[in-house]
Amino acid sequence: MTSRTIHVEDVELWTESLGEPTDPALLLLSGDTMSSTGWPQPLVQRFVAAGHRVLRFDYRDTGRSTWREFSQSPYTFDDLAADAVAVLDGWEVGAAHIVGFGMGGGIAQLLALDHASWVRTLTLSNCFALGVDFFGNWERALTGEPTPDGLPTPDRGFVELAFGLSTPGNNIRQVLAGEFYDEAEVRAAEQTSHRHAGRRDTRQSHPHSEVRVGLDGRGPDLSGIAVPTLVIQGMRDPINPPPHGRHLAGRIPGARLVEIRGMGHSLPTTVHHEFAAAVLEHIEMATPQRNHPHPTERQTQ
C-alpha cells in the first residue's frame, strides 16, 4: 500500500493505491460522509487478490483530506466527480473500473456521463438514479407525501433516526446493516475511521442537501451511458430500498441488476463474498481478453 496527497487547486485529497501498479485499476467511491475507510479492508483485499490495483481516497471534509466550513468553501457533485478524475490522473491511471456505493454511486454516474474516457466499467451499489428527487424524498418520508415517480422514500424510521427525531438510544448503524448487524464489527469500523482521520466521526461533514448541485436534471442523460454497467441492490437498504436498483438499471442501456438478500446500506463481512463476486464477474464479462480465474476461485485466495 502506498499513499499520496493530490492537490485540486487549494484542496488536498488523501489517496492510496493497493496492489500491483501494472494491474487494471479499480477506483472505489465511498458512501455519503464516509472516508476511504468506508470500504472495509478485507473487501478491498478481495479485489487486490483478484488482480486489481485498487485506488481509494478521502472525499473533501472526510478522513485526511481538507476539512472546511461548507458555507465558506462550497462545492458540488460535479466537483466531487472532478476530484475522482484528479485522483486517477494523479496516479497516472488512464482509465479505471469504477465502483460507487451510495453517494459514491451518484458520483460514479456523473463520471460515466461527463468523464467517460476515464471509465472502463461501472458498478453502482445502493444508490439512486440521477433524476430521482433523493433529497426531497427524505422530507416525503416524514410527511407521507407520494414521490413524483412512484418510487419508495427512505424508510421513515431511519429518517427519524438520522434527523434525531426518534427515541435516544436507537441504533442507526443497526438499521443501516439490514439483516447483518454485528456490533463488534461496527465498533471496529468506527475506530478504524477515527484513527484514520485523527478525529471523531465524519457523519455531519457532508451537508448533502447543499452539495446536491450537479444532480438535478441529469436523469434523461442516463440513457447515454455506454460503458458496461452493473447495479447492486441491497434488499434491506433503508435509504434506497427496492425497486430503486431496478429503476436505475432500467435507465442505463444494457445494465445488469444483482440483488443481495438481507443487505442494508452498509458493507458488513457477511456480504463481502457475494458483493465482490458480482463486481469481479461484471469486470470479467466486460473484459474477456483478460485471463481471469473463475469468480468462485478468486474467493479462495
What backbone torsions phi and psi does residue 257 show, to the nearest 5 degrees? -120, 130
Which of 169, 180, 145, 170 is closest to 268 using CA atoms?
180
> Whole-angstrom Cα distance, residue 140 to residue 77?
23
Question: Which phi and psi (to 5°) does residue 202 adopt?
Answer: -95, 15
Domain count for the chain:
1
Q: Report how far residue 4's alpha carbon sits from residue 58's, in angstroms, rounded to the nearest whole number.
A: 11
Residue 67 lies in a domain: yes
Q: Give the three-state DSSP class for 20.
A: coil
Cross-strand partners of 121? 97
Between the alpha carbon of residue 198 and those of residues 50, 67, 158, 243, 271, the distances in Å are: 31, 12, 28, 38, 28
| Residue 48 domain-assigned (yes or no) | yes
With a cut of 70, which residues of the chain have pLDDT below it?
Answer: 167-170, 200-214, 288-301
Residue 300 lies in a domain: no
Q: What is the reported pLDDT for 149?
A: 94
Q: What is the CATH number of the domain that holds 150?
A: 3.40.50.1820
Question: In the sheet where 229-234 sits, what is the strand order?
Answer: 2-8, 11-18, 53-57, 25-29, 96-101, 119-125, 229-234, 256-260
User: What pLDDT shows up at residue 293?
Assistant: 45
| Integer CA distances (angstroms), 267 to 36, 52, 128, 233, 286, in order | 13, 19, 17, 12, 24
Amino acid at 2: T
Closest CA to 94 of 64, 115, 66: 115
- The whole-number pLDDT of residue 299 equals 36
Query: In this structure, is residue 230 part of a structural domain?
Result: yes
Find cell 445494465 and name the residue. Answer: 255
In a domain, 301, yes or no: no
Residue 109 covered by a domain? yes
Instruction: Specify the pLDDT at position 12.
Output: 98
Q: Which domain holds residue 81?
A: 2-295
**25 φ/ψ angles, rounded to the nearest 5 degrees:** -80, 145
Closest CA to 134 of 179, 103, 172: 103
In a domain, 82, yes or no: yes
pLDDT of the residue at 70: 87
pLDDT at 212: 60
Instruction: State the distance between the two ends of the chain, measured CA to CA, in whole angstroms.
Output: 18
Cross-strand partners of 13: 6
Whose grid coordinates read 448541485? 213
Separation CA 57–CA 42 (nearest Å): 17
Cα dist. 44→49, 129, 158 in Å? 9, 25, 28
Predicted pLDDT of residue 298: 34
Is 84 contained in some domain? yes
